[in-house]
Structure 1
Amino acid sequence: MLYNLGLIAFYSFATVAGIQILYYLIVFSRVAFYRRTFDVDAEPESQFSVIICAKDEELNLQKNLPSVLLQRFHDKKNPSYEVIVVNDNSEDDTKYYLRSIEAGYPHYRHIEIKQPAKFIPGKKFPLSMGIRSAKFENILLTDADCKPGSTYWLALMSQGFTDGKEIVLGYSPYVKKPGLLNKVIRYETYFSALQYLGFALSGVTYMGVGRNLAYKRELFSRQKGFTAHHHIASGDDDLFVNAAANRHNVGVVINKQAFTYSEPKTSWKKWFHQKTRHMSTGKHYRFSHKFLLGLFSLTHFLFYPLFIASIFYQPMMVYVLSIFGGKMLLQSVITFMAMKKLDEGDLFKFSWFMDAFMCLYYVILTPALLFKSKNRW
């Protein structure tokens, strides 16, 4: 009986490890060995509308908006970009700040929304208003609490629109700070990006992050905006990309100067609330995407328990240790390279611990998939 259980545990472990290895080799290695280069001095070939939706974001706008307004993205003959801030029923002094800077930036304007949109929760309505009012075909989105990594952010993201691409995915890490919570937040953000960027580079795009995301206005119109999921508070970024993306119309820009940086949450409770709200949209993804993500999460979750169960099966101990060591070596190489690409290299020394922690993360946050998110930003 014990022999049979040990054999079952071993073969289960070998299968799970094999599936994990395939994900790292086929999908995640594309981020680790991303090779595309960009020219920050290239003359803009198209014009852009940068759109930021804000709700009670006066302080964040004061800190971050100037960096968006001072991008080095100028055509010698025509203004190459505009910045639109949509103020969605703010109760602080956001509107006064937005008015106060109008004279200093001719390529900037703001829109005031004074009445909440009925039956359209979240920021989908203000974002739709911003896109409708945009002058240019190319739309680049970020948030009020995001700061571009350089004055070349827009120039670099614009270079993702090549070869008929209609969507460009960027990366938006969190600012590095001391403490365990900061490391967990940043690792989870990296781990999420490893997946959505890796799958996008594999031709299977399932999401984007609105803190650093670009797409064509014509694509937005063709998809009828957010109509298909306007009743869901979240999903203005990932659900739209999930529906609009195909194998050929998505570009990826991985360059430190093209990142946008956000301030991380300062308490476990706030971070947990943020993640449960974001994860609640996953159940609306395409079935094929849910299957691929679910298979990875399930095998990731089972890997360590099955390793522990298998290691006690003496006849196969050498094989168990070999499989474990091989998988972890491959994972470490790809993790090291991917973290360097995404400017998260300082997290590498914690990567094995964080990888095991993600198993607990699945257990804690998976119930979010079963409940409706609250209808708010």
Structure 2
Amino acid sequence: MNFTHWWQLLFYGFCLITLIQLFYYCFFFFRLAFYKPNTKTASQTQPVSVIICSRDEAANLAKNLPGSLVQQYRTTHEVIVVNDNSFDDSKYLLEEYQKTFKQLHVVELKQEARFIPGKKFPLSMGIKAAKYEVVLLTDADCVPASEYWIDKMQETYDEDTEIVLGYGAYHKKSGVLNKLIRWETFHTAMQYFSYALAGKPYMGVGRNLSYKKTIFFRHKGFTAHNNIASGDDDLFIKTAATPSNTKINIDADTFTLSEPAKTFGQWAKQKTRHYSTAKYYKPLHKFLLGLYSLTQFLFYPLLVASILFYGWQYALIVFAVRFIMQAIVYYLCMKKLNEQDLYPWFLFFDIWMFFYYIIFSFTLIRKPKRVW
């Protein structure tokens, strides 16, 4: 076989990679891009227990906890803070808040849970202490984007719904790192929201997640993966979510906002911990997510090779088809998740993903640390 045939096969491979990518955009991501929640004829409110786990996060609690305490919600609710073996001033700060906010309840943990790393034990204690069926989870470093976070999140529930996935965004700041962090967060959310809409939910984020106590205890909490430090959000959703019991809520009032990492090293550490759970996903989800990542990783090397060695006109036509599809999907999805300022950068971010996968690929085989 001569070199011409080799480059022809390479171009055909590039076309196949592009077709697979277009499948993901058309079958999955279009669902979020054109998503419209069902209009409810009647509104129902129910008691809600907000649960926040904290360890040595007095500064974050001072900054963010008031956002959960001043929610405008016309039905009974409580805010539970699980203070997990903190050595800072969290205990005294929470005692001061309790004098003003009667809905605030504190669960003090003074002993470590042996053989259960991460925040799964304190979160389990918070859920057990919750008075109400609907629990709404967030983190100490998060603040609700509006005073209607509780109200709008619980509105999503109906008779069949047991899990509601929300969006945990990051504060918008200047700098390329901030945009990279928010792009990765958006890109991940676009996937798990779209998969949930396609009836294949596989993860949520603990920064903004709600489910019912009954489903938590039905699946025996986190016992299936108690030995893993992370995964209190995505691995639980992997276990408990079904096509019929899971909904999403992307109303801007339901977003939570977190402070992004200040250095690339801090962000890399966070991503290492988060991605270490991917190996425990269901085989179908691992296949779908892995195939998408692989084709995204191979797209630009094959594009460059096709331009150089086959025919730049044909290669650019294939590129243009995918680019137009991306432009439509990203614009609509970013608009829904209030990340429109990232849109002019999307081609740069798409190329960056090639390097992103190289940098973070080792997390799939690295053993996660037993801390949270």
TM-score, normalised to structure 1, is 0.96
Distance 1:114 1:19 in 2: 52
Residue matched to 2:32? 31
Distance 2:43 2:302 in 1: 54
Residue matched to 2:50? 50
Write the deviation string for residues 197-252 of structure 1: whole angstroms up to 9, x where unpaired.
Answer: 11111111110000000001000001100000001000000000011111111010
Alignment check: 8 A CA contact 2:195 2:202 kept: yes
Residue matched to 1:326? 321
Aligned with 2:301: secondary structure?
helix
Q: Give the alignment of 1:38-187 within 5 angstroms.
A: 44-75=44-75, 80-187=76-183
- 1:283: Cα distance to partner? 0.3
Write the deviation string for residues 11-31 of structure 1: whole angstroms up to 9, x where unpaired.
Answer: 100000000011011111111
Distance 2:10 2:171 in 1: 41
From 337, 340, 353, give the equivalent of 2:335.
340
Alignment check: 8 A CA contact 2:45 2:151 kept: no
Residue matched to 1:194? 190
Alignment check: 8 A CA contact 2:18 2:322 kept: yes
- 1:43: Cα distance to partner? 5.6
Distance 2:272 2:315 in 1: 35
Residue matched to 1:8? 9
- 1:320: Cα distance to partner? 2.1
Distance 1:227 1:372 in 2: 19
- 1:163: Cα distance to partner? 4.4
Alignment check: 8 A CA contact 2:228 2:370 kept: yes
Instruction: Note the residue ranges of structure 1 that are not aligned, 5 or more in a row.
Output: none
Structural RMSD (CA): 1.3
- 1:37: Cα distance to partner? 6.7
Report the AA paired with residue 159 of structure 1.
E
Distance 2:291 2:47 in 1: 41
Write the deviation string for residues 164-223 of structure 1: whole angstroms up to 9, x where unpaired.
Answer: 111100001100011111010010100110111111111111100000000010000011
Aligned with 1:50: secondary structure?
strand
TM-score, normalised to structure 2, is 0.97
- 1:161: Cα distance to partner? 1.2
Alignment check: 8 A CA contact 1:84 1:108 kept: yes
Report the AA paired with residue 85 of structure 1.
V
Equivalent pairs: percent with the same residue?
49
- 1:350: Cα distance to partner? 0.7
Tell me the number of residue pairs that the alignment of Structure 1 and Structure 2 aligns: 370
Aligned with 1:147: secondary structure?
strand
Instruction: Note the residue ranges of structure 2 that are not aligned, 5 or more in a row.
Output: none
Aligned with 2:160: secondary structure?
coil
Alignment check: 8 A CA contact 1:53 1:85 kept: yes
Distance 1:26 1:162 in 2: 26
Alignment check: 8 A CA contact 1:38 1:156 kept: no
Aligned with 1:101: secondary structure?
helix
Residue matched to 1:370? 365
Aligned with 1:173: secondary structure?
strand
Alignment check: 8 A CA contact 1:44 1:74 kept: no
